[in-house]
Amino acid sequence: MLSGGYANIDTATRIRCEKVMNTGTVLRMFSGRSRWNLQPNEFSLAIERQRSSASGVLDLTASNPTTVGFDYDEEAILSAMNNRKSLTYEPDPRGLLSAREAVVHYYNEVLPAADIDERCLILTVSTSEAYSYAFRLLCDPGDEILVAAPSYPLFEYLAEIQDVQLVSYELVYDHGWQIDFHSLRQKLTARTRAIVLVNPNNPTGSYISGQEKTELNQIAAEDNLALIVDEVFLDFALDGARHFSLFANQDALTFTLSGISKICALPQMKLSWLAVSGPAQQKREAMDRLEVIADTYLSPSAPIQHALGTLLETRAGIQTQITGRLRQNLAELDRQLAAQQLCSRLQVQGGWYAVLRVPVTQSDEQLATELVEQQSVVVHPGHFFDFHVDGYLIVSLITPEREFSEGIRRVLSFFH
């Protein structure tokens, strides 16, 4: 039910569910951590009803790049999978050397100053799996990981199924998003093991600043913590500025996660990685232990690993199309926002989403449900992404342009 992290509306709408009390004998067979309430909520029921009605719905939450009209280099992608080398099994816990070299080549192009070598990489099937490896490496049951709020909603589940406690620190918005270091420091306890950040963050689209990088490194060093940095959207900067990456960060033990689900817009191909950097001894110890975890699973398949170099080469074509659409939709959003005064949008530096600030007349979830019922348009309520106050809606900027324009028109006309 959760796989694919926000691959479609259903996932998105069901992802926030409450634990149900375990009373029956059958239920006692199962672990407490899997005791989810799987009943659809009001919002997802409204979407289902509206979808099967004559008017259908306009979906402004699309996050699956393979179904929104981009033009992939099909020939290159498919022929890359057709490799005789895949007929031989050559298990390597870190992933095939040729595939890790392809990742190094990618980083040499996007971050030429970064110090990277293929021995610091572990390939995984997904970023989610990479998170699991990092959580397993760092945490005993009940240990704590700090995550930003608002941020990527799948963390709650990723942590829960590894018996890790999530503790959130705040991002504050004041002419752009910033980490609230006061809130972060207050959340540190003897059980804190790592600080997670998404750079640029989903859905706020904010990159960390140089000063934030320094401060995070300081906290990690003082408290003996690791940094887990998800940079899947790193290549999708929208403001033309140079941004900071924590990839190959040397000042604290750092796990940088990325993969082809966003870099090449190929989430179905399933290949990601975890790059380890930091002080030499911590890094060596982390790699040795991670190797055992990875060896226990040996997850990524041979065909995808052999194809990786070619798939990464196709990224320029698809990234140009995606970035073009992100910019065009953002410009259209601004054009429509300029014609009214009730709603606005927050600054976006990168990534695939925009955050709308809207009048608070009810909870965001009720608002999103009304938008489905009255305007046949689907947006994410802010609380899915852990916005702690109402008045925020999230829209996907990879939505096809015409749908996006009409969808935004419907959202804005709702408030009039």
Ligand X SMILES: Cc1ncc(COP(=O)(O)O)c(C=O)c1O
What span, in angstroms and rounded, lies between the C-alpha atoms of 162 and 361? Answer: 38
205 is a site residue for ligand X (CB under 6 A): no
Looking up tokens 């009209």, which residue turns up?
A: 69
Contacting ligand X (CB under 6 A), which of 11, 50, 61, 63? 63
Query: Cα-flanking dihedrals φ and ψ of residue 354, to 5°?
Result: -130, 145
What span, in angstroms and rounded, lies between the C-alpha atoms of 367 and 346? Answer: 19
Contacting ligand X (CB under 6 A), which of 132, 199, 261, 396? 261
- Nearer of residues 270 and 410 to ligand X, judged by Cβ: 270
The distance of closest approach from Cβ of residue 26 to ligand X in the complex, given in angstroms and rounded to an integer, is 32
- Nearer of residues 46 and 232 to ligand X, judged by Cβ: 232
Residues near 229 by beta carbon (within 8 Å), at least 6 away in sequence:
196, 197, 198, 199, 246, 247, 249, 254, 255, 256, 257
What span, in angstroms and rounded, lies between the C-alpha atoms of 395 and 25? Answer: 43
300 is a site residue for ligand X (CB under 6 A): no
Which residues from 332-371 bind ligand X, rule CB under 6 A?
Answer: none
What span, in angstroms and rounded, lies between the C-alpha atoms of 227 and 274? Answer: 12
The distance of closest approach from Cβ of residue 257 to ligand X in the complex, given in angstroms and rounded to an integer, is 7
Write the interaction track for ligand X spanning residues 212-251; mark x where CB under 6 A is met and - where it is not: ------------------x-x-------------------
- Nearer of residues 249 and 258 to ligand X, judged by Cβ: 258
The distance of closest approach from Cβ of residue 126 to ligand X in the complex, given in angstroms and rounded to an integer, is 3
What span, in angstroms and rounded, lies between the C-alpha atoms of 216 and 222? Answer: 10
- Nearer of residues 43 and 152 to ligand X, judged by Cβ: 152
Q: What is the DSSP string of 270-316?
A: --EEEEEESSHHHHHHHHHHHHHHHHHH--S-HHHHHHHHHHHHTHH
The distance of closest approach from Cβ of residue 153 to ligand X in the complex, given in angstroms and rounded to an integer, is 9
61 is a site residue for ligand X (CB under 6 A): no
267 is a site residue for ligand X (CB under 6 A): yes
Contacting ligand X (CB under 6 A), which of 122, 159, 198, 354? 198
Helix (H) or strand (E) holding 362: none
What span, in angstroms and rounded, lies between the C-alpha atoms of 181 and 383? Answer: 22
H helices present in 165-270, as ranges: 181-186, 210-223, 260-263
Beta strands in 135-217 (DSSP E): 144-149, 165-173, 177-179, 192-198
Q: How many of the chain's residues bind ligand X (CB under 6 A)?
A: 15
Q: What is the DSSP string of 84-96?
A: GGGGS----TT--
Which residues from 98-157 bind ligand X, rule CB under 6 A?
Answer: 126-128, 152
74 CB neighbour count, 10 Å cutoff: 9
- Nearer of residues 259 and 278 to ligand X, judged by Cβ: 259
- Nearer of residues 272 and 376 to ligand X, judged by Cβ: 272
The distance of closest approach from Cβ of residue 268 to ligand X in the complex, given in angstroms and rounded to an integer, is 9
Contacting ligand X (CB under 6 A), which of 249, 272, 329, 375? 272
The distance of closest approach from Cβ of residue 28 to ligand X in the complex, given in angstroms and rounded to an integer, is 32
Pairing of strands 380-381, 392-396: antiparallel
- Nearer of residues 126 and 376 to ligand X, judged by Cβ: 126
- Nearer of residues 192 and 201 to ligand X, judged by Cβ: 201
Q: How far is residue 110 from each of residues 53, 105, 113, 121, 241, measured CA to CA in Å?
A: 46, 9, 9, 17, 14
- Nearer of residues 159 and 198 to ligand X, judged by Cβ: 198
Task: Give me the residues that bind ligand X (CB under 6 A), please.
Answer: 5-6, 63, 126-128, 152, 198, 202, 230, 232, 259, 261, 267, 272
